[in-house]
Structure 1
Amino acid sequence: MGETRLRVAFMGTPEFAAAALAALAPAHDIVCAYSQPPRPAGRGYRLAPSPVHALAERLGIAVRTPVSLKSAAEQQAFAALEADIAVVAAYGLILPPPILDAPRLGCVNIHASLLPRWRGAAPIARAIIAGDAQTGITLMRMDAGLDTGPMLTRETLPIDPTDTAETLHDALAALGARMIGPLLADLAAGRIAATPQPAEGATYAAKIDKAEARIDWSKPAAQVSAHIRGLSPFPGAWCELAGERLKLLNAVVAEGDGEPGTALDDRLAIACGSGAIRPTRLQRAGAKPADAAGFLNGRPVPKGTRLG
């Protein structure tokens, strides 16, 4: 006997959320997809739908893109969907109590951290920058707080020393997409209970600010590497090389010591406050990303070069 098909309101915006929508659509009735409004994109700055919006349209799912859910009209329209459950993933709007209370089984959030660590907007980047050994997906029942609701289930994922925010995002998106279907089946059958988040260990994952992207070579090598990888590909950690801004998109810890910001050899080992890093992927202004060998072929960096 198959699992119960639910009436699902899906609420999400980026690729992370689109992976979950793609997983749910065959098994449930997606009564509506909510997403952030189209934004200017590309060289022509034409309005482009979000990944969730575009996928929903391809799947024949109705899409709504309100700028807010605070009005009585929006809340009534949501309630009129008569959804059994709302699944929320990186949506970007606050859900007022009337929205949270409308679905019969409540609202479930796919959050990309092991709550209560890294509540907030940028859990993937913050986990890498902090040097965490692992992260994961927490599926939680939403309440009025910021990622404070009780947990339904979670799975861990190790953070590899070469992971960037991009690679970890893709792995977590796939994990969340795999977890959400079985959770909905368990909720529909009454097979799962929520567990309150522990009070200890809560941290806040503040939105990434471009102002924090400049590399501080005085920090230890492990911290510099984590900073580079956590901000890759956007906004991209950067330094200056001969007055030109240079983005470092991946880096590994290397052997060597010297004056912070100084090239220790001709293969781009760069001294940090302690130890050194070796960038493995770089991007010059106006150019495409390149691996270290390709970059050095076009722009040698001799031993003793100072990077600002």
Structure 2
Amino acid sequence: MTGKTRIVFWGSPGIAASFLRDLVHNHSDRFVITACVTQTEKTIQRQGKTAARSKVHDTALELGLPVLTPKSVKKEAREILSTLSTFGYDLFVVVAYGKILPQSIIDAPPLKSVNFHGSLLPLLRGASPIEHSLLYGFRETGWTLQRIVEKLDAGDIIAQSQVVIDENETTGTLYEKLSADLIQNGAQMLADYADGKVTPRPQDESAATHCGKISAEDGRLNFERPAHEIFNRCRAFTPRPGVFAMFRGKKVKLALSPPPVPLPTRGEGVPEAGVGTLTKHGKTDLSVVCGDGNVLNIVSVTPEGKKPMAVADFMNGYRLQDGDRFE
């Protein structure tokens, strides 16, 4: 289309807020953000109840943009569209908004509605693609700009960008990479779409995979699994919600890392010990035996209700005995 494209921006977390700021500061010659829609304030129990706004809400106020925070997009669809029409729009852009849009909202703009999804669709449709790309040991992920349809993350693909995943990548570092990639490539993807320079292509339904929401219980480690799977779970759930095991009947959060050399097999030096068994190496190093006979090094331990402990402090404070194990 000719002229500037008027966008209503739908998003909530920091990764969306960074992209919103980039569009306003660096692409005002091509786009006009007329309003933002984000999630309602959440109540946080921290020395009393405190209302916390989303990162997009704070950024929109900083930029002087109108903000809507509907409790139910479906029930309030008519009111939302009535309000947004006073600001004007050509396109709705969604980045991790956190709620499903009804068809009446999807179809309202002349250019319809598009979504930046944090995976290379059709892989990892759903709520937590970044975490699951690490959980499954992917070596590459990226962004997919897709048309929004009623079926979750099943719309035609408009454009994609690729991001390499390093061996020791965590969700925290991968978020930073993806945020930088979105800022580098996202505006051009939107411009090409708005200008009609790309032909969206259907997704291959036979290749589609799915991922759900993450819960704290997902961080529980099962040391009967192979070492690489356990380490991938640590990567996926760092920094949140973290990973944990049980030690002497109590919950302990863990930080693990693979050894700097290939993991040995039982025949190459790993003790004949059961899975989860803790193995001391001198006074400062500790490892745990995994289901494939390989070991992972323990970086730190956080007992329930306490601060993180260095491995040496954990070994001394809990007077580790032969046969102690994580369960």
Identify whether the pair has TM-score above 0.5, normalized to the shorter chain: yes
**Aligned residue in 2 for 1:277:** 296
The equivalent position to 1:122 in structure 2, one of 128, 135, 142, is 128
Residue 80 of structure 1 deviates from its aligned partner by: 4.2
Q: Is 1:67 matched up with 2:82?
A: no
Answering whether residue 311 of structure 2 is matched by residue 307 of structure 1, we say no
> What are the residue-to-residue correspondences of 1:26-105 with 2, within 5 Å?
26=25, 27=27, 28-41=31-44, 43-44=46-47, 45-70=49-74, 71=76, 72-105=78-111
Instruction: State the Cα distance separating 1:288 from its structure 2 match.
Output: 5.0
Task: Give how far 1:153 is off.
Answer: 0.9
Question: What are the superposed Cα offsets for residues 43-62 of structure 1, whole Å, 9 maximum, x if unpaired?
Answer: 23300110110111111111
Alpha-carbon shift at residue 220 of structure 1 (Å): 0.4
User: For the residues of structure 1 that align with 2:286 and 2:171, how far apart are their CA atoms?
Assistant: 22
Contact map agreement 2:7 2:35 (CA 8 A) in 1? yes
What's the secondary structure of 1:269's corresponding residue? strand
Distance between the aligned counterparts of 1:212 and 1:23, measured in 2?
34
Which consecutive unaligned segments of at least 5 residues does structure 1 have?
A: none
Query: 2:57 aligns to what SS in structure 1?
Result: helix
CA contact (8 A) 1:237 1:249 kept: yes
Deviation at 1:150, TM superposition (A): 0.6
Contact 2:286 2:297 in 1 (8 A): yes
Aligned to 1:212: 218
Structural mapping, 1:181-220, within 5 Å: 181-220=187-226
**Percent of matched pairs sharing the same residue:** 32
Aligned-pair CA distance for 1:77:
2.5
How far 1:22 moved relative to its partner?
1.4
Unaligned runs of 5+ in 2: 265-269
Q: 1:245 aligns with which of 212, 237, 251?
A: 251
Paired residue type of 1:21: L
Secondary structure of the structure 2 residue equivalent to 1:128: helix
Matched residue type, 1:268: L
Which amino acid in the other structure matches residue 273 of structure 1? G
Distance in 2 of aligned mates of 1:220 and 1:73: 52
Q: Which moved more, 1:26-35 or 1:67-76?
A: 67-76
| Cα distance, 1:42–1:168 mapped onto 2, change above 3 Å | farther
> Structure 2 counterpart of 1:147, which letter?
D
RMSD value over aligned CA atoms?
A: 2.1
Query: Residues 33 and 166 of structure 1: is their aligned pair in 2 closer, same or farther, counting only changes over 3 Å?
Result: same
Give the drift of 1:90. 0.8
Look up the SS of the partner of 2:207 in the other structure: coil
Are 1:170 and 2:170 matched, yes or no?
no
Change (3 A) 1:68 1:288: same
Deviation at 1:17, TM superposition (A): 1.0
SS in 1 for 2:280: coil
Alpha carbons of structure 1 residues 141 and 246: separation in structure 2 relative to 1, 3 Å: same
Classify 1:281/1:299 alpha carbon distance in 2 versus 1 (closer, same or farther; 3 Å).
closer
- 2:280 counterpart residue number: 265
Q: 1:20 aligns to what SS in structure 2?
A: helix
Count of residues in Structure 1 that have an aligned counterpart in Structure 2? 302
Give yes or no for contact 1:36–1:65 (8 Å, CA) kept in 2: yes
Secondary structure of 1:268's counterpart equals strand
Q: Cα distance 1:155–1:121, how it changes in 2: closer, same or farther (>3 A)? A: same
Task: Give, in angstroms, the shift of residue 189 of structure 1.
Answer: 2.3
In the superposition, the TM-score normalised over structure 1's length comes to: 0.90
- Aligned residue for 1:149, secondary structure, equals coil
